[in-house]
Amino acid sequence: MSISLSRYLVEQQRAKGHIPPELRLLLEVVARACKSISQAVNKGALGGVLGSAGSENVQGEVQKKLDIIANEVLIEANEWGGHLAAMASEEMDGIYLVPNRYPQGEYLLLFDPLDGSSNIDVNVSIGTIFSVLKKPEGSEGVSEKDFLQPGRHQVAAGYCVYGPQTTLVLTVGDGVVMFTLDREQGSFVLTQESVQIPADTKEFAINMSNMRHWDAPVKRYIDECLQGKEGPRGKDFNMRWIASMVADVHRILSRGGIFMYPWDKREPNKPGKLRLMYEANPMGWLVEQAGGAATNGRQAILDVQPSQLHERVSVILGSKNEVERVTKYHLEQTK
């Protein structure tokens, strides 16, 4: 007997009491938005949704048509429900206040509406990443600084990967669950509970073309992996790089591995490429909830105190023992 997302959330609330009705509504609305995004993505060229939109986002990156479509779908799906005070997106410079014509709620929703955009036009898996915070008590109205909370403060986080299956992966702080979209029913069905990442792995994910720009600890770690069973690790490693964080993280949640997008010399003033608030924090929490680890090389990502909405961070996440090894190499460097 299949369990729908709504039934799962109701029964979790009944059993554990950490998914109040407003949060359940938020998660159901986000899931419905992801279903619409999945349909737009699946149309591809037939839907006239491929290619660039001829504009740039706050990161100075060319926006794809589907980036903008996905952003609009998430805004329109969430603004009327009364569960949110405001939203923030990779595709918008500032926060989006819920219009006065709608009731304001206590939650803040952050998202990367379509991560992995460079893969859209070549039919490789992409995804939507989201993070949920609560508006700080007592603050009148809502402003950007209300969003600047460490990842430990998240009340829900997840992603939807648009691949051979459309799969919604979610945590509310009590482990990680996966739902697969049943297109005939049009609903997300529970397909995996208590996701666990193996503590060890033989698979690393990093963009090797940046090797000459890496810092010493990263070079040391990857070099040891490449030496294989004759080297200090005593085993051979495999490499994967999909250049779509959602797809790489989904593989790691499904079978283990380590994902790294570290600081490098190309833009030394930037701590990394990936964004803290709506990429590293939600993914970092999911990975920790599945028994893995997520650091910026020196501290847990979830403990980083944000200072800007779109700030970037170095990301090392996945199988606990591997992440701890890379982090140890970084900490040894600063001694």
Q: Which of 86, 245, 293, 294 binds ligand P6P (CB under 6 A)?
A: 245
Would you say 150 and 304 are in contact if contact means Cβ atoms under 8 Å apart? yes
CA angle 272, 278, 283 (to 5 degrees): 80
Q: Which of 194, 207, 238, 333 binds ligand P6P (CB under 6 A)?
A: 207
Q: Is 166 helix (H, G, I), strand (E, B) or coil?
A: strand
Asked if 318 is part of the footprint of ligand P6P (rule: CB under 6 A), the reply reads: no
Task: Work out how close the CB of 246 gets to ligand P6P at its nearest, in angstroms, rounded to a whole number.
Answer: 7
Task: Work out how close the CB of 244 gets to ligand P6P at its nearest, in angstroms, rounded to a whole number.
Answer: 5
CA angle 139, 90, 291 (to 5 degrees): 85
Q: Return all residues near 223 (Cβ < 8 A) that are at least 6 apart.
A: none
Asked if 243 is part of the footprint of ligand P6P (rule: CB under 6 A), the reply reads: yes
Amino acid sitting at position 286: L
Taking CB under 6 A as the binding criterion, the range among 17-25, 36-44, 114-122, 159-167 that sits at the site for ligand P6P is: 114-122
Taking CB under 6 A as the binding criterion, the range among 14-22, 113-121, 215-223, 262-270 that sits at the site for ligand P6P is: 113-121
Q: Which of 128, 244, 281, 295 binds ligand P6P (CB under 6 A)?
A: 244
DSSP element (H, E) containing 146: helix 144-147
Asked if 58 is part of the footprint of ligand P6P (rule: CB under 6 A), the reply reads: no
* Relative orientation angle of helices 21-43 and 5-16, to the nearest 10 degrees: 160
Asked if 116 is part of the footprint of ligand P6P (rule: CB under 6 A), the reply reads: yes
Amino acid sitting at position 273: K
Taking CB under 6 A as the binding criterion, the range among 5-13, 112-120, 212-220, 320-328 that sits at the site for ligand P6P is: 112-120
Would you say 271 and 296 are in contact if contact means Cβ atoms under 8 Å apart? yes
Using the minimum distance from each CB to ligand P6P, give the nearer residue, 2 or 118.
Answer: 118
Length of the chain: 335
The site for ligand P6P (CB under 6 A) is made up of 115-118, 207, 243-245, 261, 273-274
